[in-house]
Amino acid sequence: MTRISDSRRLQFLDQMMKSQLSRRGLLLGGAATAGALAMPRFLGAGEARAAETIRFCSWGGSIQKLQREYVLQPFTEASGIEVVEDSLPLSSRIKAMVDNDALEFDVVQTDLLTLLSLEQMGEYFEPIDYSAIAPQALKGIPEAVRLPKAVGYLYWSYNIAYRTDKFDAAPKDWAEVWDTEKFPGGRTLTSADDGQYPNLEFALLADGVAKEDLYPIDVDRAFSALDRIKSDVVKWWSSGSEVVQLFTSGEAAVGSAYSGRILTAKSEGAPVDLAWNQGQASLDYLMIVKGAPKDRAMKLIDALLAVEPSVEVFNRYNAGPANQDVLAGLKEGRAAELPSYPENLEKMYVQDSQWWADNLDDIIERFHEWTFA
Amino acid sequence: MGALATARSARPAETSSLWLALPAILALGLFFFAPLANLVTISFSGETAFSAYERFFASPAATRILVNTVLVALAVSASCTLMALAFALAIRTLTPFWARLALLSVTLPLWISILVRSYSWLYVLAQEGIVNRSLLALGLTDQPFQLLFNWGAVGLGIGHILLPYALLPIHNAVEALDPLLLRAARSLGAGPARIFFTLILPLTARGILTGAALVFVLALGFYVTPQMLGSARNTMLAVYVDVLVNTMLDWPRAAAASLVLVVTVAAGIALLAFAAGRTVARLRP
Shortest alpha-carbon distance between residue A95 and chain B (Å):
8
Angstrom distance (rounded) from CA A335 to CA A311: 10
CATH classification code of A157-281+353-372: 3.40.190.10
- Residue contact A95–B128, C-beta within 8 A: no
How many other C-beta atoms are found inside a 10 Å radius of the C-beta of residue A64? 20
Select from B130, B133, B157 the least CA-distant residue to B143. B133
Q: Which residues contact A213 (CB under 8 A, 6 or more apart)?
A: none
Whether B181 and B199 have beta carbons less than 8 Å apart is answered as yes
Q: Per-residue pLDDT for chain B (285 aa), expressed as one digit of tens each? A: 344 444 444 455 556 788 889 999 999 999 999 999 999 999 999 999 999 999 999 999 999 999 999 999 999 999 999 999 999 999 998 999 999 999 999 888 888 999 999 999 998 999 888 999 999 999 998 888 999 999 999 999 999 999 999 999 999 999 999 999 999 999 999 999 999 999 999 999 989 999 999 999 999 999 999 999 999 999 999 999 999 999 999 999 999 999 999 998 898 888 878 877 777 676 665
Contacts of B147 in chain A (CB under 8 A): none
ipTM: 0.85
CATH code 1.10.3720.10 for B50-283: yes
A48-155+283-350 and A157-281+353-372 agree in CATH topology: yes
Q: What crossing angle do the helices spanning A353-372 and A112-119 adopt, rounded to 10°?
A: 90
Contacts of B112 in chain A (CB under 8 A): none
CATH classification code of A48-155+283-350: 3.40.190.10
Tell me which residues of chain A, numbers 182 to 201, contact chain B at a CB-CB cutoff of 8 Å: 186, 191-197
Angstrom distance (rounded) from CA B90 to CA A36: 49
Nearest to A234 among B119, B128, B146 (CB): B146
What is the model's pLDDT at position B278? 77
- Residue contact A249–B250, C-beta within 8 A: no
Whether B222 and B239 have beta carbons less than 8 Å apart is answered as no
Nearest to B127 among A20, A196, A251 (CB): A251
Q: What is the DSSP letter of A109?
A: E
Q: How far is CA B80 from CA B55, B117, B163, in A?
A: 35, 17, 5
Report domain extents, chain A. Answer: 48-155+283-350, 157-281+353-372
Mean pLDDT by 10 residues, chain A (373 residues): 48 47 39 39 43 91 96 96 96 96 97 95 97 96 97 98 95 97 96 94 98 97 98 95 92 96 95 97 97 97 98 97 97 96 96 96 95 88
Nearest to A3 among B61, B62, B128 (CB): B128
Angstrom distance (rounded) from CA A244 to CA A261: 7
Which residues of chain B approach chain A closer than 8 Å at the C-beta?
31, 35, 38, 59-62, 64-65, 115-116, 119, 122-123, 126-129, 144, 146, 148-149, 224, 227-228, 231-233, 235, 239-240, 242-243, 245-250
Nearest to A250 among B62, B127, B227 (CB): B127
Shortest alpha-carbon distance between residue B69 and chain A (Å):
14
Report domain extents, chain B. Answer: 50-283
What is the model's pLDDT at position B285? 54
